[in-house]
């Protein structure tokens, strides 16, 4: 790995501004790193030629004095964002070969701000998963290794993005988070992941999983980088009716380093039965760091926490069952049919062959909970519990500025583990799902290592549209933790 791939987004930005190197040089270094680490399978589609063209154009733009917020910075894009003329698969076979004729708003914002796209990163199929094991294009391997040297999952669903950033195959990457898909893989890969408030980033052009939960956000190596990138992604979009008509603040300016007098809540319900000691210790350490920095850490209660996962596993599949109905083999993507097949035959064969097992399971669960006779018992009930969870947070935020919890209940696990039982896999999202249901901003910051030498993260949850507070506190936590471990092979 070269020095250029070890830069933070902020340093690279400043180095480009000073003329220490060009965007083409930065991009070439990342293209080389991407090629060298193909075995990790972080990318589904690499776009080196396009990256170099964008980098060249960026250098020219800079020479004319027209540098944007992310001018010349090479990043990776989760393959859930539709990118014009570049294959977009959502890691599904059903979208293999799909070439969008449009650019998602978030990627358009990033490219408009000068960012350079290196390629499209791997993910769980349709973002449904917490391990990246459900991708049709093969699983992603976490750049980190435990003491036993086994291949580990990067988390999911934005596992390719997390692996690319941790493995220095991109300065930063976009992720999307529905129930934890930015924060959990960030924690598993020792990077920073920020899920903004629902409505902060446009969903237009992002392949939908669960519309009321999906939110795009940055995956970076520092909190500052997350602030920079969020500023370049976010903004009101008239094409998304759920996009918030709000100005984008200067998130980087929130990094004052001063959290004296801020009130931070510790929800007792997150101290779940069987929480591993190393996670409990990580959390306690985080509390101590914030106290030392002058924050007022208080106990709070979020009584409906234990119902968040079941609620999520009704709401998200229900929406998904409908959102994924458009993959029918008619207008785009794969089609499977034989001579003499009826329309229904074609639908059924196409969708059976095009969707993987986990996606099929979720579509069917979603179909079931919405079907006649079950709507009230499952779906509508879940929406009511969701209201309770939302109210829990609203009550807590009456007294605290942010909430601190672990990001995930464990460190990254081995490839193949937990895959025998879908429900076991769902438990990975136990700490991230509540904030998703409430639409709140959540930031995962790496603050320590597990006994096995793997990164662990803490999560900060903020008030709606108060990303600035979680960024400020996250910055303090980051400095205090001084997390500087790197994946194996990157130490030098």
Partner 1 sequence: MSSLDKETVRKIAFLSRIKVSEEELGELAGDLTRILDFIEELQEVDVEGAAPLTSVADLTLPLRKDEVTDGNIQQKVLANAPKTDAGCFVVPKVIE
Partner 2 sequence: MTYILEGSTGPWEIVVGLEVHCQIIAHSKLFSGASAQFGSEANNNVSLVDAAMPGMLPVINAECVRQAVKTGLGLKAKINHESVFSRKNYFYADLPQGYQISQFDKPIVGEGTIILDMPDGSTKAVGIERLHLEQDAGKSMHDQDPKYSHIDLNRSGVALMEIVSMPDIRSPEEAGAYLTKMRAIVRYLGTCDGNMNEGSMRCDANVSVRRAGAEFGTRCEIKNVNSIRFVMQAIEIEAMRQIEVIEGGGEIIQETRLFDPKLGETRSMRSKEMAHDYRYFPDPDLLPLVFDEAFVSEIEKTLPELPDEKKARFMREYGLSAYDAGVLVAEQEKAVFYERVAKGRDGKMAANWVITNLFGALNKLGVDVSESPVTAENLGKLIGLIGDDTISGRIAKDVFEIMIETGKDPEAIVEEKGLKQITDTGAIETAIDEVIAANPDKVEEIREGKDRMLGWFVGQVMKSTGGKANPAMVNKMLRDKILG
Residue 282 token pair: 């990580």
Verify whether residue 69 is a known catalytic residue. no
The answer to the question of residue 34 lying near partner 1 (CB under 8 A) is no
The region of 188-196, 235-243, 431-439, 454-462 touching partner 2 under the rule CB under 8 A is 235-243
Residue 118 token pair: 């290196």
Cα distance between residue 367 and residue 65, in whole Å: 54
Q: What residue 349 binds from partner 2, partner 1, none (CB within 5 to 8 A, per partner kind)?
A: partner 1
Please give the distance of CA 183 from its chain centroid, rounded to a whole number: 6
Contacts of partner 1 in 98-137 (CB under 8 A): 98-99, 101-102
Report CA Rg, the chain. Answer: 21
As a three-state string, the secondary structure of 140-203 is CCCCCCCCCCCCECCCCCCHHHHHHHHCCCCCCEEEEECCCCCHHHHHHHCCEEEECCCCCCCC
By beta-carbon proximity to partner 1, the closer residue of 18 and 331 is: 331
By beta-carbon proximity to partner 1, the closer residue of 126 and 283 is: 126
The region of 233-241, 292-300, 302-310, 353-361 touching partner 2 under the rule CB under 8 A is 233-241
By beta-carbon proximity to partner 2, the closer residue of 95 and 234 is: 95
Q: Nearest to residue 410, comparing CAs of 275, 256, 236?
A: 275
13 and 70 Cβ atoms separated by less than 8 Å: yes
By beta-carbon proximity to partner 2, the closer residue of 59 and 214 is: 214
Helix axes 467-481, 223-233, angle to 10 degrees: 160
- Token pair 């300065």 is found at 171
By beta-carbon proximity to partner 1, the closer residue of 23 and 134 is: 134
Contacts of partner 1 in 224-243 (CB under 8 A): 238, 241-242
Cα distance between residue 18 and residue 316, in whole Å: 46
Contacts of partner 1 in 361-390 (CB under 8 A): 361, 363-365, 367-369, 371, 377-378, 380-388, 390
The answer to the question of residue 384 lying near partner 2 (CB under 8 A) is no
The answer to the question of residue 464 lying near partner 1 (CB under 8 A) is yes
**Coil/strand/helix, residue 456:** strand
The answer to the question of residue 394 lying near partner 1 (CB under 8 A) is no
The answer to the question of residue 276 lying near partner 1 (CB under 8 A) is no
Q: What residue 69 binds from partner 1, partner 2, none (CB within 5 to 8 A, per partner kind)?
A: none
Verify whether residue 181 is a known catalytic residue. yes
| Minimum separation from the CB atom of position 189 to partner 1 (A) | 27
The answer to the question of residue 239 lying near partner 2 (CB under 8 A) is yes
By beta-carbon proximity to partner 1, the closer residue of 65 and 241 is: 241
Cα distance between residue 211 and residue 176, in whole Å: 12
Cross-strand bridge partners of residue 294: none
Q: What residue 276 binds from partner 2, partner 1, none (CB within 5 to 8 A, per partner kind)?
A: none
Q: First CA to last CA across the chain, in angstroms? A: 8
The answer to the question of residue 48 lying near partner 1 (CB under 8 A) is no
Q: What residue 210 binds from partner 1, partner 2, none (CB within 5 to 8 A, per partner kind)?
A: partner 2
Q: Which of 33, 92, 130, 157 is catalytic?
A: 157
Q: Which of 78, 145, 195, 486 is catalytic?
A: 78
Verify whether residue 306 is a known catalytic residue. no
Strands 263-267 and 296-300, bridge-based pairing = parallel
- Where on the phi/psi map is residue 397: left (φ > 0), alpha (ψ -120 to 50), or beta? alpha
Tell me what percent of the chain is helix, strand and coil, each rounded to the nearest 5. Answer: 40, 15, 45
Q: Which residues contact 85 (CB under 8 A, 6 or more apart)?
A: 99, 100, 101
By beta-carbon proximity to partner 2, the closer residue of 4 and 206 is: 206
| Minimum separation from the CB atom of position 81 to partner 2 (A) | 8
Cα distance between residue 162 and residue 178, in whole Å: 16
Strands 263-267 and 192-195, bridge-based pairing = unpaired
The region of 1-9, 63-71, 368-376, 442-450 touching partner 2 under the rule CB under 8 A is 368-376
By beta-carbon proximity to partner 2, the closer residue of 55 and 94 is: 94
Site string for partner 2, 175-204 (x = CB under 8 A): ----------------------------xx
Burial of 350 (0-12, 13-18, 19+ CB in 10 A): buried
Please give the distance of CA 405 from its chain centroid, rounded to a whole number: 17
Tell which one of 45, 50, 360, 479 touches partner 1 (CB under 8 A): 360
Contact residues: partner 2, CB under 8 A: 81-82, 88, 90, 95, 98, 100-102, 104, 203-208, 210-212, 238-242, 318-319, 321-322, 324-326, 328, 330-332, 343-344, 347, 367, 370-372, 375, 379
Residues classed as catalytic: 78, 157, 181
């Amino acid at each position: 790995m070269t020095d250029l791939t070890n830069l933070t987004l902020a340093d690279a930005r400043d180095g480009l501004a000073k003329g220490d190197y060009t965007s083409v040089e930065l991009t070439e270094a990342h293209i080389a790193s991407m090629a060298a680490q193909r075995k990790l399978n972080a990318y589904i589609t690499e776009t080196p030629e396009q990256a170099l063209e964008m980098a060249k154009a960026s250098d020219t733009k800079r020479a004319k004095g027209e540098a944007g917020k992310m001018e010349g910075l090479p990043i990776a894009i989760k393959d859930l964002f539709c990118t014009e003329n570049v294959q977009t698969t959502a890691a599904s076979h059903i979208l293999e070969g799909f070439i969008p004729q449009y650019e998602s708003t978030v990627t358009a914002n990033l490219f408009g701000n000068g960012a350079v796209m290196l390629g499209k990163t791997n993910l769980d199929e349709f973002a449904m998963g917490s391990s990246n094991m459900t991708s049709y294009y093969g699983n992603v391997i976490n750049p980190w290794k435990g003491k036993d040297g086994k291949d580990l999952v990067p988390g999911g669903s934005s596992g390719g993005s997390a692996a690319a950033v941790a493995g220095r195959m991109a300065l930063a990457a976009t992720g999307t988070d529905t129930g934890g898909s930015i924060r959990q893989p960030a924690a598993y890969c020792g990077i920073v992941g920020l899920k903004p408030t629902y409505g902060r980033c446009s969903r237009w052009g992002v392949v939908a999983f669960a519309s009321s939960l999906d939110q795009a956000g940055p995956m970076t190596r520092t909190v500052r980088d997350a602030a920079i990138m969020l500023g370049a992604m976010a903004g009101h979009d008239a094409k998304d009716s759920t996009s918030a008509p709000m100005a984008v603040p200067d998130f980087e300016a929130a990094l004052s380093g001063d959290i004296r007098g801020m009130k931070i809540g510790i929800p007792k319900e997150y101290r779940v039965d069987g929480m591993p000691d190393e996670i409990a210790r990580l959390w306690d350490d985080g509390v101590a760091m914030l106290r030392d920095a002058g924050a007022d850490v208080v106990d709070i209660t979020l009584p409906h926490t234990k119902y968040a996962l079941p609620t999520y596993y009704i709401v998200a599949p229900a929406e998904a069952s409908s959102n994924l109905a458009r993959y029918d083999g008619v207008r785009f993507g794969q089609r499977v049919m034989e001579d003499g097949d009826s329309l229904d035959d074609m639908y059924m064969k196409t969708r059976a062959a095009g969707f993987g097992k986990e996606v099929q399971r979720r579509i069917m669960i979603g179909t079931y909970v919405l079907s006649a006779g079950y709507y009230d018992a499952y779906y509508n009930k879940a929406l009511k519990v969701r209201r309770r969870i939302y109210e829990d947070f609203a009550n807590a935020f009456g007294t605290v500025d942010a909430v601190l919890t672990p990001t995930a209940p464990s460190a990254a696990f081995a490839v193949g583990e937990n895959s025998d039982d879908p429900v076991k896999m769902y438990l990975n999202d136990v700490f991230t799902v509540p904030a998703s249901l409430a639409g709140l901003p959540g930031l995962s910051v790496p603050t320590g290592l597990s006994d096995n030498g793997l990164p662990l993260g803490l999560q900060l949850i903020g008030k709606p549209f108060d990303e600035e507070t979680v960024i400020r506190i996250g910055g303090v936590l980051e400095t205090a933790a001084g997390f500087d471990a790197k994946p194996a092979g990157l130490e030098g």
